[in-house]
Each structure stands twice: as C-alpha cells, then as structure tokens.
Amino acid sequence: MTKDEVQQLLQQFDQSSLNEFKLKDNNFELHFGKQSGAVVKRAATLPSAATNTDTTTIKAPLVGVVYLAAAPEQPVYKKVGDHVAAGEVICVIEAMKMMNEVKSDVSGTVTAILVENEAMVDFHQPLFEIDPES
C-alpha cells in the first residue's frame, strides 16, 4: 500500500462516522482510531524484508508521537540495513511536550522499522527490529 493510498484511507475515515478502522494484509497492518472527534493514527506496520526469529524488538517505552529524525530537515536516525550500537539513539518520542530519546538495547543491524514518522505509538508498541551481532 502506498503512502497516497494510506492518506486517502485516513481522509475517508476522518469523514466517516466510524470510530475505529483496522486493515491487515499479510505482514502489513494499519489501525486508525478516533478520540474526541480527532483522528489518531495509532499504528502502521511496514512489511519487513525477511522474518527472523532471532531479532530483538525495540518497543516504545511510553505513549506519544514518534519521530524518526531529530528535526524535519535532518536525516532519519536509522534506516533498514544500518548498523546500530547498543545505547545509540534510534528515535525520539514526544509526550506532554517532552522529547524522550529511545536507545537501542543491542548492537546489530536494523532489519525493520515498524512505525511511520510522526505516528502515535502506544506503550510497548514495537518500533524497530534489530538483528543482533553474534
């Protein structure tokens, strides 16, 4: 599903009387929910290249808006295929106007980014999958 198709779905959902919308297709998952009349994009899972049972999942330590880059004009912290060191910042989550750094627990290679930039994330929602170094 392309970004334009997701935006069209979001616009149609916003104009509808639905309070929740879920879409699953193989390893792609999309979930919209409304709170207080506003549309909240709660989760967007992007397909990963390969499923590896030995990967480590980095989860959101709190509820908020995830940012994959330090600023809109800055490059993203990590892309799929990038090496990450333990303790390295991989994204930030804004909660109550506070920016909270999310750091990797392990060293390895980023195999999947499971959220989109500026998406609303829930507590313990998977953010990244990392193939740890041996």
**What pLDDT digit, counting tens, does each position of 93-133 carry?**
999 889 999 999 999 999 999 999 999 999 999 999 999 98
Give 91-95's long-range contacts (Cβ < 8 A, gap of 24+).
91/66, 91/67, 91/127, 91/128, 92/66, 92/67, 93/60, 93/61, 93/62, 93/64, 93/65, 93/66, 93/67, 93/121, 94/64, 94/65, 94/67, 95/62, 95/63, 95/64, 95/65
pLDDT of residue 31 exceeding 90: no
pLDDT of residue 49 exceeding 70: no
Domains of the chain: 1-45 (no CATH), 49-134 (2.40.50.100)
The average confidence (pLDDT) of the chain is 81
| Among 16-20, 44-48, 51-55, 58-62, the least confident range | 44-48
Average pLDDT value for residue range 80-91: 94
Place 89 in a pLDDT band, splitting at 50, 70 and 90.
very high
What's the CA gap between 68 and 83, in Å, rounded?
15
Burial class (CB in 10 A: 0-12, 13-18, 19+), 37: exposed
The gap from C-alpha 126 to its chain's centroid, in whole angstroms, comes to 7
